[in-house]
Structure 1
Amino acid sequence: MPSICRSLPSASPAKPATAGEGRPASRRFVLAGVASLLASPLLPAAPARARGPLPDFADLAERVMPAVVNIAVLSEQTTTQVPPELRGTPFERYFRERRGRQQMQGAGSGFIIDATGLVVTNNHVVGNASRVIVSLQDGTEMPARVVGTDDLTDLALLRVEARASLPFVPWGSSASTRVGQWVLACGNPFGLGGTVTSGIVSARGREIGAGPFDDFIQTDAAINPGNSGGPLFNTDGEVIGINTAIFSPTNASAGIGFATPSDLARGVIEQLRRDGRVERGWLGIAVQDYGTEPGARRGAQIQGVERNSPAARAGLRNGDVLVALNGERMDGSRTLIRAVSITPPGQTVRLTVVRDGRQQEVAVQVGRRPPSAS
């Protein structure tokens, strides 16, 4: 459904244990603990470390929530299910033409980034919606227009027309976010309306198989269906992420949520705001990580070159190892893909290439990424 935070497939690395698997594991943990206590001599307890007070998010929530919105979508899809008794009869065509389109409703979250009414959300929230309604925390409802969407980063930009200036929140730097820092997630879980949950940054740079630009912030702040598109705040009230996906065997929060980092989202949103679409650089090569063993020189090795692509015109070949772009070293294929994608089409870059044991510089004019590129 387009209205929920996406749940990762069960094939993801952190396979959830079933109830049957979980109980014996817990029992083994407890028994091992008891055994170790019985086998160890009694020692005086270590003095407890002084702990600072836990944060109070009340002031933060009061400040940022007016800019967090609920999003309702109304879309249409073609229904191909024809009742068996109508198949092969003249009524089958009538059913497909007159009753074959059904409306679907969904709900998601978003946040306002400009007083004039620009709203950020996930692409999978709006999907192919024929109508989008944005609701403020005070209950005000406004129709929204989709300015642009980007499927590769699952981001969308909406615009609402308001009679007065709207409250908005600023972007923060996801690059300066540290594992263990407190965060506040806001949104519309299960369609309940404005809700806040708190937690910490559990990890950074997570790759979850969503696409070539995976670089997610992982958090244990509760994120549930309906939170998609909502903001993840730092304690300064800055948006450092957009809540996008969860890992859960139940499709509800299991303490593992993922947010698109603000440093990635901000550039995409600015392009959508300016042009209504995102244009990315493209070389036309298939690459894989090179030098993954300890101590080896790392880079991206070319596995395929498309005909008439920028890479082909520059003379790049299968087996070439790309180790730097414009002098900046690369530690793998994803680094290369991200660096090229943010390069404006038409700009020339300098690639450092290792071929047959020799290092050389190759100039490549970056092309425009076609919609079909993976």
Structure 2
Amino acid sequence: MTAPQPSSDSPRLSRRAALLLPGVLAACSGPARAQRGLPDFADLAERVLPAVVSIQVTSRETTGGAAESRGGPVERGRRAPLVQGAGSGFIIEPAGIVVTNGHVVGNATRVTVTTQDGTDYVARLIGADELTDLALLRITPRAPLAAVSLGVSGNMRVGQWVMAAGNPFGLGGSITSGIISARGRDIGAGPFDDFIQTDAPINPGNSGGPLFNMQGEVIGINTAIYSPSGASAGIGFAVPSDLARPVIEALLRGGRVDRGWLGVSVSDAEEQGRRQRGAVIMGVERGSPAARAGLRQGDLVTALNGEAVTTSRALVRGVAVLPPGETVRLTLQRAGRVQEIAVQIGRRPSEG
């Protein structure tokens, strides 16, 4: 699986060409109309594109491990070169709140947001959440901006039409259409994998852009693609709006997302090659909430606050959504006996 990376050498529309793009257009009434069995996206695009933005990023080049050049290690104190990137986003508040992907902004030294009418704004990072790859930016417009709202992704069905919008290859203001191919996809990106899969073409530069339903609501944030070439192969992934909503709200409140933490490593239970219901504790970190509560390697956790835990992922996600400091009840099996243990949830350490 490869996430769309911001393009460093993508062509960008000239200012003259950008000015030819439509500005804030009048909203149409009702959803897109069907013609000969296929939807017409023109009214939908006209209504929502003013809230879709292009994002240009300047950041310092980073390397894994020791920094090196062709002549050997980089001199001490030498600054890493600047690199350019591009991505997408969308405005959720007319005052200038923009949603995008965390990997779009990364460790940027400068972020510029360009609206559909070609106006550039220097953006400030409000906060980012690594586990869902979401970030929130703030710009200061001269007047209220067009904005879109989050829909309910849980209402979407496989086979329904969707429209993606964004800034592919730095071109800006582009839309593509397709259907929802699958829901609940786990692509190995993290414990919160619950992606919407779509065949609407998503390319480098589309990261952070919205995936719309036919009512013009954002039901996903385009985040990753599966592609052997780096371009669209008809398999794209979007963070569902139902997962994004509480993250965005937390970032707006305090610029960060505090998540619960036990301090254990876990795996799915297996017995004689068959899967059991529950999560087996494989290790307990010293000094962690789990260690203080007396959890042990080999414990099989079967419920959290009375709710069944069927997999290791269910336990991790169930704990992560709890506020640090809350005391919970874990039901577990130890040496063939069922026990209940109270654990005070800790704060998940930063991934950085």
TM > 0.5: yes
**Counterpart of 1:226?**
205
- 1:326, CA displacement in angstroms? 1.4
Taking the aligned partners of 2:144 and 2:271, their CA distance within structure 1 comes to 52
Between the aligned partners of 2:45 and 2:288, the Cα distance in structure 1 is: 50
Q: Contact 1:2/1:127 (CA < 8 Å) preserved in 2?
A: no
Helix, strand or coil at the partner of 2:61: strand
Partner amino acid, structure 1, of 2:131? L
Q: How does 1:1-374 map to 2 (within 5 A)?
A: 2-3=5-6, 53-77=37-61, 80=67, 82=69, 84=71, 100-291=79-270, 297-372=276-351
Cα distance, 1:287–1:83 mapped onto 2, change above 3 Å: closer
Is the contact made by 1:172 and 1:238 (CA closer than 8 Å) also made in structure 2?
yes
Say which SS state the counterpart of residue 162 (structure 1) adopts. Answer: coil
Q: Secondary structure at the match of 1:312?
A: helix
CA shift digits 1:321-343 (9 cap, x unpaired):
11111121122111111111010
Other structure's SS at 1:168 match: coil
**Quick one: distance in 1 between partners of 2:247 and 2:59?**
25
Structure 1 partner of 2:23:
none
Amino acid at match of 1:330: V
Cα pair distance change 1:166/1:292, threshold 3 Å: farther
Does the 8 Å contact 2:94/2:144 carry over to 1? yes
User: Which has the higher Rg, Structure 1 or Structure 2?
Assistant: 1
The C-alpha deviation readout for 1:271-296, integer Å capped at 9, x for no partner, is 11111111110001111112589996
Q: Given the superposition, is the C-alpha separation of residues 265 and 343 from structure 1 closer, same or farther in structure 2, using an over 3 Å criterion? A: same
Residues 185 and 333 of structure 1: is their aligned pair in 2 closer, same or farther, counting only changes over 3 Å? Answer: same
SS of residue matched to 1:213: coil
Other-structure match for 2:17 = none
Write the distance in 2 (CA, Å) between the matches of 1:206 and 1:78. Answer: 30
| 8 A Cα contact 2:5 2:205, kept in partner | no
Give me the identity figure in percent: 65
Q: Is the 8 A contact 1:292 1:298 kept in 2?
A: no
Q: Structure 2 CA distance, aligned partners of 1:316 and 1:250?
A: 46
Structure 1 SS opposite 2:123: strand
Distance 1:212-1:190 versus aligned 2 partners, 3 A rule: same
Q: Offset at 1:358? A: 2.3
**CA deviation profile, 1:40-96 (whole Å, cap 9, x unmatched):** xxxxxxxxxxx9722111111111111110000111237955564xx79xxx85xx6
* Whole-angstrom distance in 1 between the partners of 2:310 and 2:38: 38
8 Å Cα contact 2:62-2:80 kept in structure 1: yes
**3-state SS in 1 of match to 2:155:** coil
Q: Distance in 1 between matches of 2:279 and 2:69?
A: 51
Paired with 1:226 and 1:141, the residues of 2 have a C-alpha distance of 17
| Distance of aligned partners of 1:158 and 1:372 in 2 relative to their CA distance in 1, 3 Å threshold | closer
Q: Let me know the Cα RMSD of the aligned residues.
A: 2.5
SS in 2 for 1:311: helix
Matched length? 320
Amino acid at match of 2:299: D
**Any conservation in 1 of the 2:130–2:351 contact (CA below 8 Å)?**
no
Instruction: Give the conservation status (yes or no) of the 8 Å contact 1:74–1:131.
Output: yes
Distance change >3 Å, CA 306–CA 242, structure 1 → 2: same
| TM-score, scaled to structure 2 | 0.85
User: C-alpha offsets along residues 175-203 of structure 1, whole Å, 9 cap, x if unaligned?
Assistant: 22211111111100011111111111111
The structure in which a higher percent of residues are helix is: 1
Aligned amino acid, residue 182 of structure 2: A
